[in-house]
Chain A
């Protein structure tokens, strides 16, 4: 780490000492020019809860400007791949690209045990996809990066020190225009078909202004804490860009340290009096599970006014459980702020009102899947199943959001359809991929989000993903629901289940639920399988093929999400058959997955 960062011993303060200007800039460089006149900045903590580096915006600007004179020779508009480890050098490189007019491309910084080869392959694929002219990684990741860049036409692949060895041009490069690209961001989709969203300076600034002013109702007393990866839209756009653009200080905990010691996150919030912190639902659940009563006693979370939740389907019950566990530490359930967004529109689309708490809408799920209508269950009607969907609030100003039916018609309130949106922060397209762009972005600027949802009283409720929807005997069933049911079993952990459909011999869809279990006792496995079938039958009235597999069987995307389409194709491979194969009614064939899973335990129960 650089001498200047180590020389700072106190974390950057909450008060900037300059008037709050909340993302009212036309470019990121204009925003940093202003933030650098104040006292705030980034604080980096390590896994021992020690401050390892401080990077005030003043110093970030100085170092980024100096480096931009060296990056200029790489060519304006060209891509520079950056391994986005939570480290000051990443921030310096990212903002140096801004001043030099280069397009930074954050890459994942997450490697699994024994996962060296897979990670190197993934990096290489992304570097090629964005046609990078150079690539950077902090020292901890540079070995992977160098291997990934071997033989690729890069001017340079190395650490910040290596980039400081480039010749500096005499003059500062001209600052970017609002129409220039600010960054490329790879979405959390498939690793085989990467999609880099192109976001302009104007697009990201418009989204940050809407999020921080309308979403958070930001004040000059706000301070952020974050463990979110810097290659994820919430971590990159929301924190690394958003906090700078609003002169807020951030206390960073590296993602890996959070995964090891989740209580450090809450400890930082409590000690530094942070007011805003975000996480996908699983982060809250992980944290709540690991907390001991003594940890909770030592925390004061009354300062936490916005506990943002997003990035995956939110279950109202899980949030309530987390709130109950944290309540003795002064956590107010009303701090939960559900939101909805995606990398294709920079970050955020809709936010629930601040301090209203998570609100949900109880829906007759049978009616929803039969008719697409989102209506509350009628009281007194026996056997009606209610399901609660979370209120993701109203679309941010400047966005038009429509829920459309299968024929493209705009649906009225309480009718479920595909969510489309148009607005100033929608991406310019997927880099180098006009076909994928055309699939989701119309000529008049409407983005097909691929998500399903409905409006009720102006609020958006997201019910699932359009492409993952299962249609069984004319009924719409959401795979998330089957997975959630599986996760409710004591043997099954969150994200250990994947549901999808396969085509049976009648050419109709049949549901499959693949569940990872650590259990090896055949009797207990059979019992789990029976319970799952019963629960699914009871809740949805459908038959479902259950396959129990050993841990690490289900494929994941770069951001760790399960991929249902990959799980489905793996499942079919285990069956040794192509799609369009009728096995659902054939008990003998049903045992095929069992035989081909290999080591470990597998049990397939025919329906």
Chain B
């Protein structure tokens, strides 16, 4: 399992985003993912799957329901891995 610090997490999120929406790896951290990266509900599920696979963890709905941006997702996942450690 990958070491989970905020930088690793952000890298995984950007990597995942690039995989499903090529050209979006450098999207601003506070950009609305659904609007700016063109994600519909199925697209969001794709992104979540790619992140989960990269970080080998499961992102609960609570975390997803409160995040709209890369920064938001990173903060949520940091909290998760902190709680698990």
A residues with a Cβ closer than 8 A to B are 47, 111-116, 119, 140-141, 143-144, 256, 259-261, 286, 493, 518, 550-552, 560, 599-600
Contact = CB atoms under 8 A, between A and B. Distances in A.
A112 B44 contact: yes
B68 to A, nearest CB: 4
A552 B61 contact: no
A115 B58 CA distance: 19
B58 A286 contact: no
B4 interface: no
B42 A116 contact: no
Given A113-B44, A260-B48, A551-B40, A144 B65 contact: yes
A551 B45 contact: no
Given A114-B34, A259-B45, A141 B61 contact: yes
B65 A551 contact: no
Given A111-B65, A259-B42, 19 more contacts: A112-B44, A114-B34, A114-B65, A114-B72, A140-B60, A141-B61, A143-B62, A144-B65, A256-B61, A259-B41, A259-B45, A260-B45, A260-B46, A261-B49, A518-B38, A551-B34, A551-B38, A551-B39, A599-B35
19 contacts: A47-B49, A111-B64, A112-B65, A113-B34, A113-B39, A113-B41, A113-B65, A113-B67, A114-B65, A114-B66, A256-B61, A259-B42, A259-B45, A518-B38, A550-B35, A551-B38, A551-B39, A551-B40, A560-B41
Interface of B: 33-35, 38-42, 44-46, 48-49, 52, 58, 60-62, 64-68, 72
A121 B66 CA distance: 14
Contacts of B38: 518, 551
Contacts of A140: 60-62
Q: Is the interface of B mostly helix, strand, loop or mixed?
A: helix
Contacts of B33: 113
Contacts of B35: 550-552, 599-600
B4 to A, nearest CB: 19
Question: Which of B46, B60, B62 lies at the interface centre, i.e. has the most chain A CB atoms within 10 A of its CB?
Answer: B62
B20 to A, nearest CB: 11
A116 B44 CA distance: 15
A115 B61 CA distance: 10
A599 B72 CA distance: 21
Contacts of B65: 111-116, 119, 144
Q: Is the interface of A mostly helix, strand, loop or mixed?
A: loop
B2 to A, nearest CB: 17
Question: Which of A113, A114, A259, A600 lies at the interface centre, i.e. has the most chain B CB atoms within 10 A of its CB?
Answer: A113
B69 to A, nearest CB: 8
A286 B66 contact: no
B55 to A, nearest CB: 14
Contacts of B58: 47
Contacts of B42: 259, 286
A114 B67 contact: yes
B6 to A, nearest CB: 20
Contacts of B44: 112-113
A259 B45 CA distance: 6
A379 B61 CA distance: 56
Nearest to A112: B41
B76 to A, nearest CB: 11
A421 B62 CA distance: 42
Given A112-B41, A259-B41, A552 B49 contact: no
Contacts of A260: 45-46, 48-49
A120 B24 CA distance: 31
Question: Top 4 closest A-B pairs, CB basis?
Answer: A114-B68, A116-B65, A260-B49, A111-B65
B45 A256 contact: yes
A535 B39 CA distance: 28
B85 to A, nearest CB: 20
Contacts of A286: 42
A143 B63 CA distance: 11
Contacts of B64: 111, 113-114
A260 B40 CA distance: 13
Contacts of B68: 113-114
B47 to A, nearest CB: 9
B34 to A, nearest CB: 6
A147 to B, nearest CB: 11
A493 B41 CA distance: 12
Contacts of B52: 47
B33 to A, nearest CB: 7
Nearest to A115: B65
A551 B36 CA distance: 10
Nearest to B40: A551
A229 to B, nearest CB: 13
Nearest to A120: B65
Contacts of A144: 62, 65
Contacts of B48: 260
A141 B63 CA distance: 11
Contacts of B45: 256, 259-260
Nearest to B43: A551
Contacts of A111: 61, 64-65
A359 to B, nearest CB: 30
Nearest to B68: A114
A73 to B, nearest CB: 31
A96 to B, nearest CB: 24
Question: Which of A114, A140, A518 lies at the interface centre, i.e. has the most chain B CB atoms within 10 A of its CB?
Answer: A114
Contacts of B67: 113-114
Nearest to B58: A47
A253 to B, nearest CB: 13
B70 to A, nearest CB: 12
Contacts of A550: 35
A552 B40 contact: yes
Nearest to B47: A113
A599 B33 CA distance: 14
A552 B34 contact: yes
Contacts of B66: 114, 116
